[in-house]
Chains A and B, each alone.
Chain A
Amino acid sequence: MPQISQITATYASQIFWLLVTFGLLYFVVGRGMVTRVVANVDAREARIAADLSAAEAARVTADRTEDAWRAATDAARATAQADIAAAKAQASRTSETQLAHADAELTERLAHHEVAIANAKAQAMANLQDIAADAARTLAAKLASVEVSEEVAADAVRRTTVHG
């Protein structure tokens, strides 16, 4: 087995060249290249993490904006409905007062007209009694040749009218 039988002759060369090559490997590849590769990987992972957190932040912001928009829309809708209700109430109140005014005016005018009708009726009744008294005087003068005074005729007509 040359590993054992040659060892005294070759150990110095083996150790020397191993230290040279492995040292070169450690300092050039291990400390130089690997460090930069690892740094690159770390940078990539950091960037991915940063991108993910940025996306998450953007999502949260979007959610918040949407919530705010929804709240604003709801508030606007509520305000509009309140305005509509107020306008409705206002309109119904106005129409009620107008109706009340018109009603009162109509009632008043009705009352005036009724008074006028009553007056006209009374006047007509009075005229009727005058005409009846005249007619009764004329009838009495023509039929019985009795001269009846106006007052007596009017009184007779009034009594007859009252007793039916």
Chain B
Amino acid sequence: MAAEQGGKIDPMHQFLIEPLFGRHWIVNGYDLSFTNSALWMVITVASLAVFMLGGMKRELVPGRWQAAVEGFTGFVQGMLTSNIGPEGKRFVPYVFSLFMFILFANVLGLLPFGVVPGWHPFTITSHLTVTGVLAIISFSIVLIVGFGRHGFHFFSLFVPHGTPVLMIPLIFVVELLSFLVRPFSLGLRLFVAMTAGHILLKVLAGFVINGINLGVGYAAIITLPSFVLMIGITLLELLVAAIQAYVFALLTSVYLNDAVNLH
């Protein structure tokens, strides 16, 4: 978008983080500037809060909006109770915040805000820093709940029932490694899915623009198929946006189940 004037479209430009208002806020040597990423975090949380406010009428017979909000809370609660059991209700505030934050961030990143001059949509979940922090928060909660409830007995999680005594050291190491990999896989999965989808869309958008610039003949050969493909992939990306949010929340609840119930 911004690189159009150069004749070359950079599909990575959309991930660039820039401080807004051209100012850097340096606190204790750390750069805490209010960037476009921070702006979209604020937009995500604000739109989510507006969505939730619409469901706060708390009527006995819910209206459409309230039914939508209750549908989301009921969905998260159902996911937690089916994975963890009745105790899962304790984690509804966290997993709901997590699921809705990722879902809103993913979907907001796909919305065509670029048609407004001067606006660039930014997908915060396409940044490893953001997904990594969310994954670390989930993993920390699992560790806190696990060690808080079971103490060092939590390590029995790494020795499944019925393991032969001879195999215990090996299985323990394997299970520990798979456990420690969880936050990385959790954070990387979302980051990669979002990044890949947005790069693909931007590359196809580049084909569309370049095809038009090359003339009518090229436009028919390149622009039209690319545009049709873009429509399809945009729909696919909307699906991916919802699925990745669901996967993140689902895996968090599965890991929480390990911490609460220890297999």
Contacts and interface: CB of A to CB of B under 8 A. Distances in A.
A and B found bound together = yes
Interface of A: 1-4, 6-7, 9-19, 21-22, 24-26, 28-31, 33-38, 40-41, 44, 47
A29 B52 contact: yes
Contacts of A15: 129, 133
B32 A13 contact: yes
Given A1-B15, A17-B41, A34-B73, A29 B48 contact: yes
Contact of B16 (A2, A4, A13, A24): A2
Contact of B34 (A2, A4, A17): A17
B92 interface: yes
A75 B58 CA distance: 54
Interface string B102-127: 00000000000000000000001011
Contacts, number: 133
Q: How large is the interface on B (under 10, 10 to 19, 20 to 34, 35 or more residues)?
A: 35 or more
Given A13-B38, A17-B38, A41-B70, A35 B12 contact: no
B253 interface: no
B101 interface: yes
A61 to B, nearest CB: 26
Interface in B162-207: 191, 195
Query: Dominant SS at the A interface?
Result: helix
Interface residue SS majority, chain B:
helix
14 contacts: A3-B129, A7-B128, A10-B31, A12-B32, A13-B17, A13-B34, A14-B133, A22-B137, A26-B97, A28-B49, A29-B52, A34-B52, A36-B58, A41-B70
B48 A13 contact: no
Given A13-B37, A13-B38, 20 more contacts: A12-B31, A13-B33, A13-B35, A14-B129, A15-B129, A17-B38, A17-B41, A17-B42, A21-B42, A21-B45, A25-B48, A28-B49, A30-B92, A30-B93, A33-B52, A34-B52, A35-B92, A37-B52, A37-B69, A38-B77
B126 A3 contact: yes
B15 A21 contact: no
Interface string B25-61: 0000011111101100110110011001101101010
B218 interface: no
